Amino acid sequence: MTGKGLTILGIETSCDETAAAVVRGLPPGPGEILSNVVFSQTEAHAPYGGVVPEIASRAHLEILDGIIGRALDDAGLTLADLDGIAATAGPGLIGGVMVGLTTAKGLALAANKPLLAVNHLKGHALTARMTHGADFPFLLLLVSGGHCQLLGVGGADDFRLYGSTIDDAVGEAFDKAAKILGLPYPGGPAVEAAARSGNGRAIDLPRPLVTGHNARPGADFSFSGLKTALRLAVQQQPDLSVEDAAASFQAAVIDILADRTAAAMEMFRRDFRHAAQNVLVVAGGVAANQAIGAALDRLAGVEGFAVKIPPPRLCTDNAAMIAWAGLEMLAQNETAQPFNQMLSQALAVSPRARWPLASAPEAETGNPLRR
């Protein structure tokens, strides 16, 4: 490993962003983002109110080469200057994952560079190391359109699942709430914007698993019942404003996230009682929601946790996080096994629609195919 750090090209095509980035650094970070190119397909999918897999994979295939070329040009580098090439190998829309992973395999073979097959969730999980130099261990709240999990992160390959969604992921719930309220896609930002001028107590929405006869100890999430309750409230109260409905929905989500995170904080303190500092990292697209971030910041202050949230552009899907995760993998393996063995193992990796970050008695049942 050189003192100047490792330089990694990252490729991300797991959903509806086609992305490539070049990152340089050494664990634990922070790292330097030399380039970060993201092409969003939001316009192409907006008429359908969600991501259409066939449209997404076709778009990746058509533009990925150009996106990679631009990322290298922006960084002022060629393939020969890289220490490795990282690509998302799952979880995600299988067609899109295939495009990115196959492209990375071809580049790695052509340039004779290590190939790092990255779990997309690990990219989100380790982003705070790239941006903040976050030390292990830390508690991770991963909130996105396809995932809602709380994990204790003891190392780059040490993930302990404390709780996950038993139905919808939180970002998926935001998208469905937006559709109920007649708001545009993507739903998360639209609901957040409407909620700013609404009354969060306008309607009494449930907090599944948190209150009432369905209350459950632990750190699992449920959002399906909340979505249904919102739809019924809108149908039964025709005079209800979109702003009040959005604010009430968002307030319920915040209460659920805060309650479950508080439970996970206790689990984290149990597992990592010798941690120098208790840290909460929030990652995934929903981490860009400012109201949620503010609520978690208040909770962390009460519980004695420091909060680290990457910038919004690095919370949503991007290739810089994939490059950094690959960098951490390469730093671990650089002296552990011969290059040829490492490359052959990576080339044998198949794309995965599902790829749990941590094992648990009950695997997450949320839709893995959304960001």
pLDDT in tens, 202-242: 999 999 999 766 788 899 999 999 999 999 999 999 999 99
Query: Mean pLDDT throughout 246-251?
Result: 98
Task: Tell me, yes or no, if the two domains 6-131+314-347 and 136-311 fold the same way.
Answer: yes
306-308 and 279-283 beta bridge pairing:
parallel
d(CA 131, CA 32): 8
Give strand pairing partners of 146. none
pLDDT of residue 57: 77
d(CA 68, CA 20): 5
User: Pick the residue with more confidence: 331 or 337?
Assistant: 331
* Contact (CB, 8 A) for 309 and 290: no
The number of helix segments (H) and strand segments (E) in the chain equals 11, 10
pLDDT of residue 204: 94
Name the pLDDT band for 370 (thresholds 50, 70, 90): very low
Examine the pLDDT at 364 and tell me if it is beyond 80.
no
* Contact (CB, 8 A) for 96 and 13: yes
pLDDT of residue 4: 75
What is the DSSP code string of 115-146? EEEEEHHHHHHHHHHHHH-PPSPEEEEEESSS
Q: What is the pTM of this model?
A: 0.88
Q: What is the pLDDT of residues 104-115, one digit of tens each?
A: 999 999 999 999
Of these ranges, 10-19, 299-308, 326-335, the one predicted with the greatest mean pLDDT is: 299-308
Q: What is the pLDDT of residues 62-102, one digit of tens each?
A: 889 999 999 999 999 999 999 999 999 999 899 999 999 99
Classify residue 35 by its DSSP letter: E
What is the DSSP code string of 197-251? TS-TTSS----TTTSGGG--SSS-B--HHHHHHHHHHHHH-TT--HHHHHHHHHH
Q: What is the pLDDT of residues 313-323, one digit of tens each?
A: 999 899 999 99
Classify residue 14 by its DSSP letter: S
CATH number of 136-311: 3.30.420.40
pLDDT of residue 111: 94
Examine the pLDDT at 369 and tell me if it is beyond 60.
no
* Contact (CB, 8 A) for 107 and 85: yes
d(CA 125, CA 87): 15
Examine the pLDDT at 1 and tell me if it is beyond 80.
no
Which stretch of 53-57, 166-170, 309-313 has the lowest confidence by average pLDDT? 53-57
pLDDT of residue 213: 64
Q: What is the pLDDT of residues 339-354, one digit of tens each?
A: 666 666 667 888 998 8
Name the pLDDT band for 52 (thresholds 50, 70, 90): low
Domain boundaries, the chain: 6-131+314-347, 136-311
* Rg of the chain, C-alpha, whole Å: 20
Degrees to nearest 5, angle at CA 112 with 108 and 115: 35
Q: What is the pLDDT of residues 167-212, one digit of tens each?
A: 999 999 999 999 999 999 889 999 999 999 999 999 999 999 997 6
Name the pLDDT band for 45 (thresholds 50, 70, 90): low
Query: Mean pLDDT throughout 329-348?
Result: 69
pLDDT of residue 48: 62
Whose structure tokens read 């941690």?
275
Domain 6-131+314-347 has CATH 3.30.420.40: yes
Give strand pairing partners of 38. 19
Percent over 70 (pLDDT), the chain? 88
- Mean per-residue pLDDT of the chain: 89
